[in-house]
């Protein structure tokens, strides 16, 4: 397809595709799916080879969140029967992190429910970061604590944090439909605070909430504009007891097209298959590794993933290798988190509202066939009952 050849060429040059091209990827037919995966794979291998970065989640504080994010099992009013507990002590969190590192994780992601941390919370997380780094040489630590106040990102950086995660989740135009207790602008502000403090910006999206193709393209373009170094792509886990429990909109093919679109728009960025991959990609997960270069190992915040050994076997069987701690994840031109925007043709967009490259409005896109409504696979949604906050061994 001319479309895919154009996208590969732009990806190898780190050039931003047009919106029409990005939308055309999402509109490709299932007959062209393997071609789409192969094209995205060429871009992925150019910048990341056959390496897969493993990340491990530690839920420091679970449930009882005052925010009303419709997708979240920890939200205000959630009836999902998840684990609920207050802050783990630094040594407890460090023990949980050590299990992930022993399983091959290069980055530990420390997450706490809530609108945002108090200064006391930042101190607590700082001690946890110190404990993890003392016991696990070379490990990266990413914090995800909600909306940040002035100065908190700097304090996390001083405590040893390498990155900060705060997802945009969906487009600015539809954000108010999923959350009312904070705004899209609040989220953008936190990502910018983290980036300004010298933390690697980790920000992504959630697909499957009923959004349009245009919404998906909008949020991925916004993530590139923000300069996110890593983009987690979550696929909605429709927890019973949440407002989006009946939203089963994704097929494995749809998920692969979404990942490919993200790769083409963010060619040299860590694209991570995050929550929901087992639920929605299912047996197609190995194909997704040809597009994304990063996954979570084992369980998620409130749901269980497949066995950690199964993750490792899947990576090896698909012909990939686990990225070691001594290997930089990002290409050399992106390593410096304090880099200045280099203008057109780099990993950044050319400015507010403009994009690099020529328009491809005349690129014909084969219309996608009308898809049947996917079957609800509630059997694949398992609430986490092990690991952090329990007396059972973690899955890593």
Q: Which of 14, 44, 72, 224 is catalytic?
A: 72
345: phi then psi, degrees, rounded to nearest 5? 90, 0
From the CA atom positions of the chain, what is the Rg in Å? 20
Q: What is the CA 178 to chain-centroid distance, rounded?
A: 18
133: nearest Cα among 193, 93, 87: 93
- 65 given a catalytic annotation: yes
- Our CA angle for 214, 169, 195, nearest 5°, is 115
Q: What is the DSSP string of 84-127?
A: -B-PPPHHHHHHHHHHHHHTT-SEEEEEE-SS---HHHHHHHHH
**Residue 255, annotated as binding a ligand:** no
Question: Cβ(348)–Cβ(341) under 8 Å?
Answer: yes
Given 3-state DSSP classes, what are the helix, strand and coil percentages for the chain, each rounded to the nearest 5? 40, 15, 50
Q: Which of 142, 255, 266, 356 is catalytic?
A: 142
Q: Which of 51, 65, 124, 263 is catalytic?
A: 65
- 356 given a catalytic annotation: no
148: nearest Cα among 127, 118, 174, 128: 118
At 140 the three-state DSSP class reads: strand
Question: Cβ(164)–Cβ(199) under 8 Å?
Answer: yes
**Residue 356, annotated as binding a ligand:** no
- 202 given a catalytic annotation: yes
Question: Cβ(101)–Cβ(54) under 8 Å?
Answer: no
90: phi then psi, degrees, rounded to nearest 5? -55, -40
Q: Which of 14, 44, 51, 69 is catalytic?
A: 69
Residue spans of beta strands (DSSP E) within the chain: 51-61, 107-112, 140-144, 163-165, 200-202, 205-207, 230-235, 270-273, 294-296, 321-322
Question: Cβ(107)–Cβ(293) under 8 Å?
Answer: no
- 255 given a catalytic annotation: no
Q: Which of 51, 107, 109, 334 is catalytic?
A: 109
- Our CA angle for 230, 133, 231, nearest 5°, is 5
Q: Which of 44, 254, 272, 277 is catalytic?
A: 272
Q: Which of 144, 202, 255, 356 is catalytic?
A: 202
Question: Cβ(396)–Cβ(102) under 8 Å?
Answer: yes
**Residue 19, annotated as binding a ligand:** no
- 109 given a catalytic annotation: yes
**Residue 144, annotated as binding a ligand:** no
- Our CA angle for 294, 315, 101, nearest 5°, is 60
Q: What is the DSSP letter of 63?
A: S
Binding residue positions for [4Fe-4S] cluster: 65, 69, 72
Binding residue positions: 65, 69, 72, 109, 142, 202, 272
Residues assigned a catalytic role: 65, 69, 72, 109, 142, 202, 272
Binding residue positions for [2Fe-2S] cluster: 109, 142, 202, 272
């Amino acid at each position: 397809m001319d479309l895919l050849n154009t996208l590969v060429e732009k990806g190898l040059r780190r050039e931003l595709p047009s919106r029409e091209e990005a939308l055309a990827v999402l509109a490709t037919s299932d007959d062209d799916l393997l071609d789409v995966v192969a094209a995205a794979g060429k871009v992925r291998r150019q910048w990341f080879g056959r390496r897969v970065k493993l990340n491990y989640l530690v839920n420091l504080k679970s449930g009882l969140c005052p925010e009303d994010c419709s997708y979240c099992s920890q939200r205000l009013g959630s009836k999902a029967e998840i684990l609920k507990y207050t802050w783990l002590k630094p040594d407890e969190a460090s023990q949980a992190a050590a299990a992930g590192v022993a399983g091959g994780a290069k980055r530990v992601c420390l997450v706490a429910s809530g609108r945002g941390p108090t200064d006391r919370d930042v101190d607590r997380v700082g001690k946890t970061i110190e404990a993890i780094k003392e016991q696990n040489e070379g490990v990266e630590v990413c914090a995800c604590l909600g909306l940040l106040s002035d100065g908190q990102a700097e304090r996390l950086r001083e405590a040893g944090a390498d990155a900060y995660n705060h997802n945009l989740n969906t487009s600015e135009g539809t954000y108010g439909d999923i959350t009312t207790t904070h705004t899209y602008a609040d989220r953008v502000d936190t990502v910018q605070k983290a980036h300004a403090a010298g933390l690697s910006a980790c920000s992504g999206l959630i697909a499957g909430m009923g959004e349009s193709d245009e919404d998906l393209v909008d949020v991925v373009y916004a993530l590139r504009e923000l300069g996110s170094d890593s983009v987690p792509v979550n696929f909605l886990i429709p927890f019973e007891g949440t407002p989006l429990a009946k939203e089963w909109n994704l097929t494995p093919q749809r998920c692969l097209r979404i990942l490919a679109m993200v790769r083409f728009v963010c060619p040299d960025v860590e694209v991570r298959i995050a929550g929901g991959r087992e639920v929605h990609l299912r047996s197609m997960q190995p194909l997704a590794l040809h597009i994304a270069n990063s996954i979570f190992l084992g369980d998620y915040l409130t749901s269980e993933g497949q066995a950690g050994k199964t993750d490792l076997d899947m990576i090896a069987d698909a012909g990939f290798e686990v990225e070691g701690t001594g290997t930089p994840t990002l290409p050399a031109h992106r390593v410096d988190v304090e880099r200045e925007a280099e203008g057109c043709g780099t990993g950044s967009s050319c400015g507010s509202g403009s994009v690099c490259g020529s328009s491809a409005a005349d690129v014909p896109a084969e219309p996608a066939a009308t898809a049947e409504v996917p079957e609800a696979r509630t059997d694949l949604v398992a609430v986490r009952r092990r690991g952090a906050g329990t007396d059972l061994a973690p899955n890593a």
